[in-house]
Amino acid sequence: MSPLPYPIQAPPERGHGRIAIRSVRRRDAAVLRRLLTENRSWLQPWEATFPGGGGAAPGSQPLGPVIRAMHRQRKAGTGVTFVMLYDGQAVGQLSVSDISAGALRSASIGYWVSQHVAGQGVTPTAVALAIDYAFTELRLHRIEVCIRPENAASLRVAHKLGLRYEGLRERYIHIDGKWCDHESFAVTAEEVPRGMLERLGAPSS
């Protein structure tokens, strides 16, 4: 995997209706930690962990160093982390990670929202905004989203976005302490010539 051969500039806010995404900032540390702590039991079943231990429960550690690492990834051309906003308030996080340049020009997207806004379409619109950013600004060609078969809510997000099903990846990612199968979904730029937001038909309010 080779990163983009230049630093990624912090993307400006992009939005649609009540929903927006913007680059994570150092001053988001407190609000993100509060959301992670309040939503620990909501997020834990889907949280990536380290094989052999060493992971931390959501919200159990200060986020300053984590956000600094996200900025380093952006400057190294390997990923961009966004805060999801609903009516201007931070309600979750979305990452465009594992950017591979060269002949692939692909990346993965991951996400979570606070339970208090679940079911209001925040994530589908935020993912559409992020995919449009990745295809137009980063000039990526393919985005993938991998979801545990048990995660009905996240599978609904992939379905609403019309992501193409690619298949089952067995024991693919270490989640909540064990290797978990994931359903893989993807979209390439040719599939959405007018963009993901337009394909989603996102409501404006």
Ligand X SMILES: CC(C)(COP(=O)(O)OP(=O)(O)OC[C@H]1O[C@@H](n2cnc3c(N)ncnc32)[C@H](O)[C@@H]1OP(=O)(O)O)[C@@H](O)C(=O)NCCC(=O)NCCS
Judged by the rule CB under 6 A, the positions of this chain that interact with ligand X are: 42-43, 46, 111-113, 118-124, 147, 151-154, 156-157, 160
Which of 113/130 has CB closer to ligand X? 113
Q: How many helices (H) and strands (E) does the chain have?
A: 6, 8
* Residues 108/130, Cβ–Cβ less than 8 Å: no
Q: How far is the CB of 118 from ligand X (least distance, A)?
A: 4
Nearest distance, CB of residue 194 and ligand X, angstroms? 21
Rounded CA-CA distance 174/185 in Å is 18
CA 122 to chain centre: 12
Q: Which is nearer to ligand X, 65 or 119 (CB)?
A: 119
Taking the mean position of all CA atoms in its chain, how far away is CA 151? 15
Measured from each CB, the residue nearest to ligand X is: 119
* Smallest separation (angstroms) from ligand X to the CB of 185: 10
Q: Which CB sits closer to ligand X, 22 or 101? A: 22
Beta carbon nearer to ligand X, 138 or 147: 147
Provide, rounded to whole angstroms, the least separation between the CB of residue 70 and ligand X: 17
